[in-house]
Amino acid sequence: MERNGTSTTTLVLSGFVDVEKYRYLYFWLWVLFYFLIVSSNCVIIYIVKINPSLHEPMYVFIAALSLNSILLSTTVYPKLMVDVLSHRQVATYSGCLLQVFVFYSLAAADLMLLSTMAYDRYVSICRPLRYATLMGKTRVCVFLILAWVLPACHVSVSIIIQSKQKLCGLVLEGIFCNTTIVKVHCSNPMSLFVWGFVVIANMAVFPMVFIIFTYVRIFRVAFRSRGEIRAKAVDTTLPHLMVLVMFTVFIVFDVMIGLLGINLTKILRLFLSMQILVYNPLFNPIIYGLKMKEIWKRIKRLALFSKN
């Protein structure tokens, strides 16, 4: 039966497996993951904040990436905790659109921040004499603002288009609101697909191409230079590349779950959803904490100080 996409329309989230049986297992898993994500990312932010020597663009961007991970997780985890303790896992259509907007805006902001970090490493290694000019405080602030504002502007257009569509389905094949929301519409206008390609191109493809281009240039310069510059390139770019790989995995999982409509078992679909929610937010601070020497040294000092 056709339904209007009003705020009172309720959608059923059907992605949980045996929620009645494993209700408390789900709940404590969400609590554990959310606690680890928030605490580990807060450590990175705190380390950068209290150490003046880390008030450099590279570390500021890392702190921004950690903040983004906290915000991204907060968009999903609290709702998951409430859902598994409820008799029905549901969401209003307007609430679902809001979650989709915030989630994908922040996910795209992740890639924008990774792009600014790639540019920062490019200028630092390939244009060191101009680094202070090209990466001044004002420019860093502009990069940070654009990293969050541009994705929000792009995703908001898609949300506005979807908010005007009529609903013919009330069941989402997931544990939270994601790209599968388009499947509950009676029909999707061509403008939604066209703008979807624009968003993917501007927020994913172009940044990815830019990152690859900058790192090709970085490694060409690094391997033609002295051992010190080469070591600096590896030390500061390897964690970034590892995070980029994790983000690519995130994109692949999301496309598999949402847009491609691949027939997956319910257990596999749930497993892939959990990877999306855990990989980047939790592994980013671990990668930067372990691989960035300056951050790792200060984490060890903080740990020793807390013991004393």
How far apart, in whole angstroms, are the C-alpha atoms of residue 110 and residue 30? 22
pLDDT value of residue 2: 40
Return d(Cα 67, Cα 2) in angstroms, integer: 41
Residue 197 CA, distance from chain mean position: 19
* Structure tokens, 152: 């929000």
Q: What is the pTM of this model?
A: 0.89
Q: How confident is the chain (308 residues) per 10-residue block, as mean pLDDT?
A: 56 88 92 95 92 90 94 95 92 93 94 92 88 92 96 94 88 86 86 87 88 87 72 72 77 66 74 82 82 76 66
The predicted pLDDT at position 30 comes to: 94
- Among all chains, which residue has been given the structure tokens 């969401």? 91
In whole angstroms, what is the distance from residue 7 CA to residue 26 CA? 28
The H or E element that residue 12 is part of is strand 10-13
Six-digit token string for 218: 């970085």
State how far the Cα of 210 lies from the Cα of 43, in Å rounded to an integer.
30
**Burial track 199-215 (b if 16+ CB lie within 10 A, e otherwise):** bbebbbeebbebbeebb
Identify the sign of the CA torsion 138, 140, 142, 148. negative
| Closest to 11 (Cα-Cα) out of 134, 127, 185 | 185
Domain ranges for the chain: 10-307
Q: Which amino acid does the sequence have at 180?
A: T
According to DSSP, the β-strands at 90-92 and 171-172 are unpaired
CATH topology of domain 10-307: Rhopdopsin 7-helix transmembrane proteins (1.20.1070)
Query: Rounded CA gap, 58 and 64, in Å?
Result: 10
- Kindly report the number of other CB atoms within 10 A of residue 266's CB atom: 13
Neighbours of 94 (CB within 10 A): 14
SS3 of residue 171 by DSSP: strand
